[in-house]
């Protein structure tokens, strides 16, 4: 490419949180087309770099583009009625056992067309985009049969094609037992392994495989069968584990070198050790903890002690976390789980990328990488976690394009 075709944009006098740490001097960052071309302290910035830039911006805080590594943002219907039932005293598990909960969303999702699901998901994903998210993981799990699971995953792929955001898909067919398989969980696991998963792979709709390993979900043995099938297709696995009880899903996930074990309120020390050994990320979901008025705090101190990377996500879904604002999770993780603001920021950038198997592509402001980052109208990165205040995102840069 000749020099004239290169578009150069320069950010100066910035405070840079690069995904792991905040640099202690004012920095400059140069983007050439869609890549980060240079990062340097202001004191090293030479006049020729400044003069070569087509556009120059000054001031603010830059972070990597945020990564929401756990969402269920495609679904039909609403569960506002269950919210009211819970306020009257019903528990999340009771509602699920009575055919509500996930299964009520399954009915609405099966009834919705692909187009209707796409349109329903748009405001949710747009809310994440407006909050600085540049990569989002989206799970299936409200279809629970081949046709409707694939329908959800196609909508997820389409969102990534039509909007300025990278979408990573996860097959969560093992989210709940569909009515057709009531009392036959083993049969449903077989259907996933022999039918739903192969079909999703053939259509290139699945980047990873997830399971709800729980009393109201699937057992460790059933989860293991699913993980084996996923591995046979070369897919990485992850889990909803230890959310409502200590069943052993996280240790199983570690045994299969899983990307992440998510929720993990009831995680024990042996499982923390196993996750540390396998490099499995601990994904914290304070939105679900908050919504369900949970009191069992994940074992943060143990995770620190064994240096298990902690990611942080919205779990955006119609039941246990109807929240589509990742910056709010920064505050909740600090207030409810006692993370430091730096840990929380690492959780939505550097560690979230690892949880998606993207640690070499995303989650860090690094020379040579795609220019996916955010410019915030604040003085110090910790302010993002400190106050709950929409409207601070000044620019969102996705693949070098400033689309805000
Ligand atoms: N755990 C969760 O937090 C979501 N799924 C899961 O297995 C909740 C999904 C829902 O309630 O619709
Ligand atoms: Fe979830």
Same structural domain, 105 and 248: yes
Tell me, yes or no, whether 59 and 99 share the same domain.
no
From 70, 102, 283, mutation site for ligand 1 pocket: most ligand atoms within 8 A of C-beta: 102
For residue 97, the model assigns a pLDDT of 86
291 and 194, same structural domain?
Answer: yes
Whether 332 has a pLDDT exceeding 80, the answer reads yes
* Domain co-membership, 97 together with 26: no
Question: Which ligand 1 atom sits closest to the C-alpha of 92?
Answer: 11
Instruction: Quote the pLDDT of residue 93.
Output: 87
Taking alpha carbons only, the member of 183, 181, 229 closest to residue 206 is: 229
58 and 111 belong to one structural domain: no
| Dihedral of alpha carbons 130, 135, 140, 141, sign | negative
Domain ranges, residue 59: 3-64+364-402
Tens of pLDDT, residues 91-112: 988 998 888 999 999 999 999 9
Q: Dump pLDDT digits (tens) for 110-153.
A: 999 999 999 999 999 999 999 999 999 999 999 999 999 999 99
If you average pLDDT over residues 71-86, what whole number do you get? Answer: 96
Instruction: Indicate whether 23 pLDDT > 60.
Output: yes
142 Cα–ligand 1 center, Å: 10
CA distance 91 to 358: 36
Q: List pocket residues of ligand 1, CB cut-off 6 Å.
A: 72, 101-102, 105, 175, 212, 240, 243, 288, 315, 317-321
Beta strands in 69-207 (DSSP E): 133-139, 166-174
List the shell of residues around ion ligand 2, using CB closer than 5 Å.
315
Question: Cβ of 122: how many Cβ atoms within 10 Å?
Answer: 14
Are residue 30 and residue 150 in the same domain, yes or no? Answer: no
Task: Name, in order, each residue with C-beta under 8 angstroms of 212's C-beta and a sequence gap of 6 or more.
Answer: 141, 172, 174, 175, 176, 218, 239, 240
* CA separation for the pair 156, 112 (Å, rounded): 15
Same domain, 157 and 250: yes
Ligand nearest to the CA of 261: 2
Whether residues 22 and 96 share a domain: the answer is no
List, for residues 163-200, the tens digit of each pLDDT value.
Answer: 999 999 999 999 999 999 999 999 999 999 999 999 99
Average pLDDT over residues 264-278: 98
Element (H, E) at 282: strand 281-284
Asked whether residue 17 falls in the same domain as residue 129, the answer is: no
Which atom, in ligand 1's list, is nearest to the CA of 243? 1
CATH number at residue 371: 2.30.40.10
Distance CA 172, CA 237 (A): 10
176 and 263 share one domain: yes
Does 74 lie in the same domain as 201?
Answer: yes
Residue 117 in tokens: 């699901």
CATH code of the domain in which 256 resides: 3.20.20.140
Residue 31's H or E segment, with its range, is: strand 27-32
Q: Give distance in angstroms: CA of 173 to centre of ligand 2.
A: 12
pLDDT of the residue at 99: 85
pLDDT of residue 3: 60
What count of other Cβ atoms lies within 10 Å of the Cβ of residue 199?
16
- Based on the fold, state whether residues 208 and 342 are members of the same structural domain: yes
Q: Give the residue, by CA position, lying nearest to ligand 1 atom 10.
A: 319
> Considering its fold, how many domains does the chain have in total?
2
Q: Is 230 left (phi over 0), alpha (psi -120 to 50) or beta?
A: alpha
pLDDT of res. 216:
86
Closest-lying ligand 1 atom to the alpha carbon of residue 101: 11
Select from 348, 355, 390 the least CA-distant residue to 373. Answer: 348
Q: What angle do CA 395, 401, 404 make, to 5 degrees?
A: 30
Nearest-CA residue for atom 4 of ligand 1: 320
Nearest CA to ligand 1 atom 8: 320
Give the global pTM: 0.97
């Amino acid at each position: 490419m000749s020099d004239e075709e290169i578009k150069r944009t320069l950010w100066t006098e910035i405070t840079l949180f690069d995904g792991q740490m905040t640099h202690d001097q004012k920095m400059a960052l140069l983007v050439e087309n869609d890549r980060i071309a240079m990062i340097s302290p202001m004191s090293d910035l030479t006049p020729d770099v400044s003069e070569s830039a087509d556009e120059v911006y000054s001031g603010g805080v830059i972070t990597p583009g945020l990564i929401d590594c756990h969402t269920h943002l495609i679904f039909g219907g609403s569960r506002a009625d269950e919210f009211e039932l819970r306020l009257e005293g019903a528990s999340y598990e009771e509602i699920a056992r009575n055919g509500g909960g996930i299964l009520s969303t399954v009915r609405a999702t099966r009834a919705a067309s692909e187009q209707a699901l796409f349109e329903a998901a748009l405001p949710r994903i747009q809310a994440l985009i407006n909050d600085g998210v540049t990569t989002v993981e989206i799970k299936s799990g409200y279809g629970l049969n081949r046709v409707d699971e694939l329908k959800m995953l196609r909508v997820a792929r389409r969102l990534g094609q039509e909007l300025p955001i990278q979408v990573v898909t996860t097959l969560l067919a093992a989210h709940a037992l569909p009515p057709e398989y009531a009392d036959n969980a083993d049969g449903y696991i077989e259907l996933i392994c022999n039918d739903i998963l192969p079909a999703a792979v053939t259509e290139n709709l699945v980047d990873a495989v997830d399971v709800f390993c729980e009393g109201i979900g699937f057992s460790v043995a059933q989860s293991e069968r699913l993980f084996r099938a996923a591995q046979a297709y070369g897919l990485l696995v992850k889990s909803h584990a230890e959310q409502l009880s200590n069943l052993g899903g996280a240790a199983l996930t570690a045994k299969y070198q899983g990307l992440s074990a998510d929720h993990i309120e009831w995680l024990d020390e042996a499982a923390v050790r196993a996750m540390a050994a396998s490099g499995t990320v601990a994904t914290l979901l304070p939105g679900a903890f908050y919504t369900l008025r949970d009191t069992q705090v994940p074992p943060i101190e143990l995770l620190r002690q064994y240096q298990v990377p902690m990611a942080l996500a919205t779990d955006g879904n119609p039941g246990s976390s109807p929240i589509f604002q990742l910056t709010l999770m920064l505050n909740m993780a600090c207030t409810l789980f006692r993370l430091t603001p730096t840990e929380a920021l690492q959780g939505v950038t550097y560690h979230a990328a690892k949880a998606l198997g993207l640690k070499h592509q995303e989650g860090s402001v690094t020379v040579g990488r795609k220019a996916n980052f955010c410019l915030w109208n604040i003085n110090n990165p910790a302010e993002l976690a400190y106050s709950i205040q929409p409207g601070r995102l000044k620019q969102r840069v996705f693949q070098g394009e400033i689309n805000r």
